[in-house]
Every structure is written in structure tokens, then in C-alpha cells.
Structure 1
Amino acid sequence: MTLPLVYHPIYSQLELPPEHRYPISKYRRLFDYLTDSLTLNERHDIKLYQPEPISVNEVKALHHPDYIDALFGNTLPAAKMRRIGFPWSQQLIERTLMSSGGTKLTVDLARQHGIGIHLSGGYHHAHRDFGSGFCLINDLALAAKHALTLDGIDTVLIIDCDVHHGDGTATLLADEPDIITFSVHCDKNFPARKPDSDVDLALPKSTTTNEYLSAFSGVLNLTLAQYQPDLVIYDAGVDIHQQDELGYFDVCTQGIYQRDSLVLSQCKEAGIPIAAVVGGGYRHDHQLLVELHAQLIHSAMTVFLGESQPKTNQC
């Protein structure tokens, strides 16, 4: 059994203004932590892959070509760039294409190995003709569309556990009957307008670990049984954590591990390949996010490699 991890150094190679809210260094920090703590260079059951950028033609097949031309050519109005939340740069565009290519590669690896994990991804606020909330193009929707071109994959389920509603994914895929969107989010958080996903689980502010897991597990079981997907794309956002600066839940670190393990084990038991992305997580001290995002990899090592559960802070 091989656990594939997808990463590219460009994910953290983006100059942002001081005190910018986006934790751009967390990808490099997570990769460095995994390399050191798991001694990746000495393991044969965890393999690193480096993606290629997704093609502009693929992006234009999903997003409006005029939006993409303006975005990539730096002619997007300033107000629309402010809605995205990043200052424009060529490096931003190159990073965006590479990250979407990484999620696409993760789908291919999941189909081959049963699981793949992308150490980036989850840009679910990008709509057809505009970006929002640090999201320029929607890698989840792009990867799901790609998955449907693969032999044996007729139905894709996107399980989005970021604390923020997957609004862009919902609108982009509203007319795609073979791609099911499932969003688990805080009911009083960004975005203000929450279009319907195929399945929505909106939970109140201050939802605790036990409340979260109880509500989510029931809907997850029903959703898997109803749609019987051939592949799952899983956004394992950690902004559900009790100390996240842009989330309002009260879920502890152990709860994130349990959530990730629940999704991975359900898919493994059902024989459904799962492509996971690390998703959102927001702290001024980027290093504090590393342990939280690492829970996804630890969960995968337990479920797919049979390793023992790591010691984490109890709830």
C-alpha cells in the first residue's frame, strides 16, 4: 500500500503584504514537518509527487473565458481583485494553476492507489465569472470534471468540510447531475449568500466536537448510501478548529483527526477512491496550523497504512 502526497514549493512562494490574513507559509511548513517527523526520504509506503500546472483551456472550460483572460492578463477591475483578496502578480497566477494541477493529479493518484492527499487545494469560493475569499479558480470543481473523464468514474461526490460554505462549487456544478456537492459549514459565517449544494449541513456557531461529529456522521452515511459515488473529493479544512481566527466552531484537534478518520474509513470500507485536499485554516502564527493539517495525513496513515493513532491533545 502506498500513500501518495502531492506538493510543489510554489505553494508558499508568494509575496504578500505584511499582516495579510492568508497563511501562505503553511504549505511549506506542513511539508517540512512531514518530511522531518515522518522521515519521508526513508519510507517506501509514502511517496511524494510534484504536479504540473493545469492548462488554461481546462480552466476556461469551467470558468468564463472573459474572466480568465482578465484575471490572467491583469486587467481585472480593482474591485474584483479586492473581492479575491490577493494583490495581482504573475507568481499568483502560476501558483494558482499549479495548485489546481495538484488537485487534478491527486484525483489520478486516488484512482490508482485508493487515496491521494494534496498539501494544498480547496479553493471553493471561486465562481464561474468571479473569484472570492482567496480563491481565483475552483480546483475542486476542475478536479471533479476531470474525474468524470476517467474510466469507471460516473459519479463524483465532493465532501467539503471547510468551515465556510462551498458557494462557488455549488454554483459551478449546479447543473452537473454526476457531481454531487456536500457542504458542512457554519451557518453564520462567510459567505453571506449560501447557494444550495446538493447536500448542505449548516451548523450553528460554537458547535462542539461531539455535536459536529454526531451531526456529520449521520449525514455522511446517508449521502454515501444515496449517491454511491465512484470517487470522493474531500476538502479537509481545519478552520473548524476552536482557535481558528476565521471560524466559529469549538472543535478540538482530536476532533479534526476523528472527522478525517471517519471520512477516510467510510470510503476505504466502501471501496471508494478518495482524493483529499488540506483546505482552509487561519492563524496569524502559521506554524500553529501545521499540527491541525497534519491530522489528515495521520488519519490516512492509520486507515490506509495500519499505523497506530498519534498522540494529540484530547478534547
Structure 2
Amino acid sequence: MLPIAFHPIYKHPLPEGHRFPMIKYELLPEQLKLEGIATEADFFEPSKLCEDVDVLRVHTADYLDDLKNLTLDKRAARKLGFPLSKELVSRELRIAQGTIEGCLKAIDHKVAMNIAGGTHHAYTDHGEAFCLLNDQAIAARYLQHHGHAEKILIVDLDVHQGNGTAEIFTGDDSVFTFSMHGASNYPFKKETSDLDIALPDGTNDEAFLKELRHHLPDLIAQQKPDFIFYLAGVDVLSTDKLGRLGLTPQGCKMRDEYSFSAFAKANHISKPFIPVQCSMGGGYSPEIKIIIDAHTNTYRAARDILL
């Protein structure tokens, strides 16, 4: 079983001008079923919106209140990139709940995927760049609070640095943040992750994979996590409108295969496996087929390597 969180609220969450590339959330489940990577039974809808108590382990009460009451000041609202609405806030709460429930399923099934998520630009007290609430950070705190995990590793391979995630866990030894991203890309003022690998514009498959192979296995061995979050943005592709790296579709696929293999080979814990929760992150190539194919490869790699 490959548990996959699907969020039906995506069908009409945003004004028409903001629909692309959000349409990928509707198309990706159909592609996974078409290729036989997943069946209808693999998908689950979050059972509810994420509760305030879970959000507030990460985000401030003032920020959450401003989101829910639509009282963000105009400057803060503009940084979100989306028009602020109750539907948008509900969408973000549903994403976060999907990641939480996916984590619990990963504990039983090795890995769980969120069709969306990877909202790593959300800080404790504000959001930016299409990220209102940090889904993986909220889920990490949920796991720790409920005794499901102690040491957590966040592997962020989106083209953009996980600045919000880095800020949230600054000074916290129980969560290790690792980000490989474009050096010259957004955010232009980077935060400090526990390990940042900033890559030059045009980094190709070989150079990207060389860095990943150099760092990821040693990092897992040193940190000894008992839960891993993986952010698998496909905006690392050379075709991406918002990325500046040079990966081919094959290179992006190899990135996912190598990462899941590294997770699977970790043998430092008494349990038979380290659970992995994967959120999709960004993908902004002009052709939707390129985005869907790249995300589909991530699911295929998870199934073939971890299950």
C-alpha cells in the first residue's frame, strides 16, 4: 500500500488566474492510477482540517488568528502570493492535516505521500511565496508531541531553500534541517538550515547527484533520525520557470531513487524501517505534462524502493 493524501478542495480553491500550475493536484492522482502506480484504495482524504492546537506548536497565535479572520495587513497578505480567503486558509489547513495523517500511515506502511504540501516558506509568524502554514513542520511537532518520533530529519530538495522550515527549527537539536537549493534563487535572503548546500545556476544531473551522494548517507548515519520528511520539488528541472538549475527529467528521477534508497538503507534503529513522509513541493515548468511526469516518477521510486 502506498498511502496518498488527496485534497478534493483543490478543485475550486483559487481564482482562475491562479489555477496553473495548481491543476497538477487534480491531474496527478489520475496519472498515478493510469500507470498502475496507485489504485483508488491507496488515496485518502484528510479526515478534518488541521486543529488549532496542532498548528500552534509551530505558528504564533496572532498569525493563525489573522489568517482565520482574514485580518492580515495588506503587506503580509501580498507576500502570500495568493488572494487571502477563507477557502485558501481551509486549503492550507487541509494540506497540513493530510501530512499529519500521512505520517501516521507511514509508521505502518513505511512511506506516505501528500499530493500537495512542502509549504516550506511559511515561518512561525508569517507566510510567503504560496505558503501559509508549514505542513511538514506542523507534522514533525505532532509526531514529537504524541511520542511517535524523537529525532527528525527534514530533507528538502526543492530548488528553493526551505527558509521557513530553517527559521522554525533554529536552535532545536531534535529536528535537523537539510536543504539543497539554488544559490541565486528565491529566497534572496536565506535563513540558516542545519546543513545548506547552495548550488550554482545551471547545476546539471551529475553535479547535483554528486553533492547528494556526498552528504545524504553520512547525514542519516550521523543524525540517526527515527522519522524522515522528504520534500521532492520538481522545480529543479531545467525547464522550470521559477528555478535556475539544470536537471533533466532523468536526473530528477535519479534524485528521488537515490534519496529513497538512502532512506531504505539506514540501519541505525531497532525498528525495521524509518518511516518517510513525502510532500510534493514546487514544479512550474510551462508544460503541465513535464510537471506531472516528474512527480509521477517520485511516486514510482517510493513504491519500488520502499515497499
Q: Which bracket does the TM-score occupy, shorter chain normalised?
A: over 0.9
User: Is 2:277 the counterpart of 1:281?
Assistant: no
3-state SS in 2 of match to 1:98: helix
Cα distance change on mapping 1:265 and 1:151 into 2, 3 Å: same
**Alignment-mate amino acid for residue 43 of structure 2:** L
Task: Return 5+ residue gaps in structure 2 as ranges.
Answer: 267-272
1:58-69 to 2 correspondences below 5 Å: 58-69=54-65
Counterpart check, 1:57 vs 2:16 = no
Report deviation, 1:284. Answer: 4.1
8 Å contact kept, 2:6–2:114: yes
Kindly report which structure 2 residues correspond to 1:97-246, keeping only aligned pairs within 5 A, or say none: 97-151=93-147, 153-246=149-242
Equivalent position of 1:25 in the other structure: 23
Give the aligned residue type for 1:188: S
Q: How much does 1:265 deviate?
A: 1.2
Aligned equivalents of 1:213, 1:275: Cα separation in 2: 21
Offset at residue 68 of structure 1 (A): 1.1
Distance 1:202 1:162 in 2: 12
TM-score using structure 1 length: 0.91
Deviation of 1:277 after TM superposition, in Å, equals 0.9
Following superposition, the deviation at residue 266 of structure 1 comes to 1.3
Letter in 2 for 1:36: L
Partners of 1:251 and 1:191 lie apart in 2 by: 20
1:178-229 per-position Cα deviation (integer Å, ceiling 9, x unaligned): 0111011000000011111011111111000010000111111121111010
Q: CA deviation at 1:22?
A: 5.5
Alignment match, 1:265: 261
Give, in angstroms, the shift of residue 150 of structure 1.
Answer: 4.3
- Alignment counterpart, residue 299 of structure 2, candidates 297, 300, 307: 297
Q: Which amino acid aligns with 1:197?
A: S
CA–CA distance in structure 1, aligned partners of residues 49 and 289 of structure 2: 27
Task: Figure out how many residues of one structure are paired with residues of the other and give that number.
Answer: 300
Query: Alpha carbons of 1:140 and 1:152: their partners in 2 closer, same or farther (altered >3 Å)?
Result: closer
Consecutive unaligned residues of structure 1, counting only runs of 5 or more, are: 306-315
The TM-score with structure 2 as length reference comes to 0.93
Counterpart contact for 1:3–1:304, Cα < 8 Å: no
One-letter identity of the residue aligned with 1:174: T
3-state SS, counterpart of residue 38 of structure 1: coil
CA shift, 1:61, in A, is 2.7
Give 2:13's aligned residue.
14
Q: Secondary structure at the match of 1:62?
A: coil
What is the distance in 1 between the residues matched to 2:37 and 2:172? 42
Q: CA deviation at 1:293?
A: 0.7
Is this contact kept in 2: 1:11–1:120, CA < 8 A? no
Deviations 1:4-47 (A, max 9, x none): 111121134312242x48621111110111122227447xxx72
Indicate if the aligned counterparts of 2:2 and 2:38 stay in contact, CA closer than 8 A: no
Cross-structure match for 1:309: none
Separation in 2, partners of 1:284, 1:14: 21
Amino acid across the alignment from 1:14 = P
Q: Deviations over 1:76-130 (max 9, x none)?
A: 1111111010001111011110001011111111111111111110000011111
**Quick one: structure 1 residues 220 and 100, their matched pair in 2 at CA, closer, same or farther if it must change by over 3 Å?**
same
- Could you say if the C-alpha distance between residues 41 and 222 of structure 1 is closer, same or farther in structure 2, counting changes exceeding 3 Å? closer
Q: Residue type matched to 1:49 in 2?
A: F
SS across alignment from 1:232: strand
- Amino-acid identity (%): 34
Provide the residue aligned with 2:34 in structure 1.
36
Q: Flag the 1:68–1:16 CA change in 2: closer, same or farther, 3 A.
A: same
- Tell me if the contact between 1:240 and 1:247 (Cα under 8 Å) persists in the aligned partners: yes
Residue 251 (str. 1) matches residue 251 (str. 2): no
Deviations 1:259-300 (CA, angstroms, capped at 9, x unpaired): 111111111122321111111111344343110111111101
User: SS in structure 1 opposite 2:3?
Assistant: strand
User: Residue 3 of structure 1 aligns to a residue in which SS?
Assistant: coil
State the 1:60 CA deviation.
Answer: 2.2
Q: Give the distance between the partners of 1:204 and 1:304, measured in 2 at CA.
A: 31
Name the SS of the counterpart of 2:149 in structure 1.
Answer: coil
Q: CA deviation at 1:149?
A: 2.9
